[in-house]
Amino acid sequence: MEKSKFLEALDIWGIKYAGDVYKKFEIYTQNLLSYNEKVNLTAITNIDEIYEKHYLDSLSILKYFQLEKNSSLIDIGTGAGFPSLPMKIVREDIELCMVDSLSKRVVFLEDMISKLSLKKTCALHSRAEDLAQNKDYRENFDYAVSRAVANLSTLSEYCIPFVKKGGFLICLKGQNVDEEIQNSKNAMKLLNCSIIDKINVEIPFSDLKHNIIVIQKLETTPKAYPRKSGTPSKKPL
């Protein structure tokens, strides 16, 4: 995507950015495509589509949800860094922790942190179910974000334990999410959280549409959650 078009999309959304932001996304793109030849990071290899379906898709969170300045963010099942790494490039004040269960992806993320000179940013190799039992990470983040990881019930069990009481889980979901919302009611109750918003998103200069689901943590997560590795996906709450 041309620089002018990408920056215009950010302007349309009212997202502020530094002068070198496009250069950083170019570095991201080059490394994403280079690593993708060795590690499965993305099925999307057309550069215009990378900007639309990965970068702008991820950045839509900054348009529709106001993140507090200097807040802490954890991205569970981040893969190649979506949605949090594009957010960090634009919002350097955010303290970011990216988590993935595949070590080769984490190597890529650590390389991106270095090449983009990102501060207050880390990439961890772990399963969410295991890391959530670590007191240094449990209930230690203002926000959790996730994209294309699991259904809302499973995703909430993965992510909500990391969020502080009163904090938020922000999920990027497809257009047909109503059934997931309906099926997640028991999980919301057991995890002491509530879906507070469903936001319809349209990506500038494309036909792409998706939903942002915002879940607020109301009380401390019971110690029983998340359950042991593999259980949340096999037996959703």
pLDDT of residue 42: 95
The proportion of the chain whose per-residue pLDDT surpasses 90, expressed as a percent, equals 95
| Res. 46 pLDDT band, cuts 50 70 90 | very high
Count of domains observed in the chain: 1
pLDDT of residue 149: 76
Q: Is the pLDDT of residue 25 over 90?
A: yes
| Res. 195 pLDDT band, cuts 50 70 90 | very high
Q: Residue 198 sits in which domain range?
A: 3-234
Taking only the tens place, the pLDDT of each residue in 70-103 is 999 999 999 999 999 999 999 999 999 999 999 9
pLDDT of residue 176: 87
pLDDT of residue 175: 85
How many other C-beta atoms lie within 10 A of the C-beta of residue 19?
6
The proportion of the chain whose per-residue pLDDT surpasses 70, expressed as a percent, equals 100
pTM of structure? 0.95
Q: What residues contact 136, with CB distance under 8 A and at least 6 apart?
A: none
- Cis-peptide into 226, omega within 30 deg: yes
pLDDT of residue 86: 98
Q: Is the pLDDT of residue 148 over 90?
A: no
Average pLDDT over residues 52-77: 96
Alpha-carbon torsion (97, 209, 205, 15), positive or negative? negative
Average pLDDT over residues 49-62: 96
Average pLDDT over residues 185-212: 95
Angle at 72 between CA 58 and CA 237, to 5 degrees: 70
59 φ, ψ to 5°? -70, -15
CATH number for the domain that contains residue 212: 3.40.50.150
- Token pair listed for 193: 């959280």
